[in-house]
Amino acid sequence: MSAESSPHDAVFRRMLSKPANAASQLRALLPAELSEKLDLGRLALHPGSFVDPTLRWRHTDLLFTAPLAGHDAYIYLLIEHQSSSDKLMPLRMLRYIMRIWDKHLDANPKADRLPAVIPLVVHHNRRAWHAPRDLSDLIDLDPDTAKAASEYLPQLRFLLDDLTVVDEAALRARPVTAPLRLTLLLLKIAPGNPGLAEDLRRWSDQLAEVLRRPGGWDDFVCLLSYIQRVGELPADELHDLVAELGPTAEEAFMTIAEQLEARGEARGRAEALAEFLAARFGPLPQHVRDRLDAATLDQLKTWTGRIATADTLAQALD
């Protein structure tokens, strides 16, 4: 199946692709002795994605460069969208780092040393991360044998920002930019939350701060678009919340009013399509339901037209 971006992809990419936002996240999460050696004032976004195409519905990645104690280095950010932890994430991370090094060597064919790659995984959804973070935990050896062979086995551990275990007080205290703080908050609490309006009223100062920042209008619209894509918040309640922030915020809301209407139509079509697919191919895996929920109206129309001729679920959603 082809892999459309998840509804979380756009907001994550917009907010984290800005070096100031990404730098604030790294300062907050990296060990102090490492953060102090990184010149985050020279953090720069590097083009490209290293995620397997078939996994782009569940993983979003961004690559940055920054000097590390005077040496070239990369910082690789990956966000995990699915509800369960990826048990093979250390292996996937090793594969992605290898791709980063391959691309680096293609651009620097005379290099005889490799730049450091610092990996960070951001995990959201309802369940806390419970899968391995160390590559060594995936290798099928008993502890004594693993210890004896450790010198010859690959080592990799990634930094994890598990938003499911970060409470709102800790998130408010985290020294990051307002747009990033709200992005992390929404990734944590917005999906499927019918009480989101009241939850966000506690964060009205941060919403107002987003609007006051340079480029804040576009950031604010991006956050509203994310809310209307993943939340269960009625449009009138979202409007009331935004109107409390003043005329500028209300104008931003009006720019997505048509999106809200179209998304309502898409949700109805997604539910109907899920019923048709289940009747034809049997119970749908959760990742298929997630794709239907994230799809555009045009995608849903295309998939609906394929049901009659498709022999498999993969063909219907190709």
Q: What confidence tens digit (pLDDT) does each residue in 241-284 have?
A: 889 999 888 888 887 766 656 666 677 778 888 888 888 888 88
pLDDT in tens, 183-239: 999 999 998 888 899 999 999 999 999 999 988 899 998 898 888 878 778 878 888
Same domain? For 89 and 166 the reply is yes
Domain that holds residue 246: 196-255
- Domain final position from 176, 211, 246: 176
- 84: CB partners within 8 A, 6+ apart: 127
Does residue 67 lie within any of the structural domains?
yes
CA distance 151 to 65: 30
- Statement to judge: residues 214 and 160 lie in one domain: no
Task: Read off the pLDDT band of 1 (50, 70, 90).
Answer: very low
Residue 280 covered by a domain: yes
144 within domain boundaries? yes
- Please report whether residue 182 resides in a domain: no
> Is 186 a member of any domain?
no
Q: Do residues 266 and 296 lie in contact, with contact meaning Cβ atoms separated by under 8 Å?
A: yes
Identify whether residues 226 and 292 lie together within a single domain: no
Residue that finishes a domain, picked among 146, 176, 206: 176
Q: Please tell me the distance from the alpha carbon of residue 68 to that of residue 20, in angstroms, as a whole number.
A: 17
278 and 151 in a single domain? The answer is: no
Query: 13 with 139, same domain?
Result: yes
Give the DSSP H/E element, type plus range, for residue 116. strand 116-123
Residues 201 and 224 in one domain: yes
Nearest Cα to 77, choosing from 46, 54, 112, 102? Answer: 46
Same domain, 16 and 70: yes
Answer yes or no: do 153 and 282 share one domain. no
Q: Counting runs of H as helices and runs of E as strands, what totals does the chain give?
A: 16, 5
Domain assignment present for residue 132? The answer is yes
Q: What is the pTM of this model?
A: 0.77
Shared domain for 41 and 142, answered yes or no, is yes
Give the model confidence (pLDDT) of 90-106 as tens digits: 999 999 999 999 999 99
Whether residues 31 and 125 fall in one domain: yes
Same-domain pairing of 213 and 272: no
Let me know if residue 169 belongs to a domain. yes
Residues 28, 157 within the same domain: yes
Residue 216: count of CB within 10 angstroms of its CB: 18
Q: What is the mean pLDDT of residues 21-33?
A: 95
Domain boundary among 255, 276, 302: 255
* pLDDT at res. 43: 96
The structural domain count of the chain equals 3
| Amino acid in the structure at residue 170 | A
Give residue 56's pLDDT: 64
- Is 60 within a domain? yes
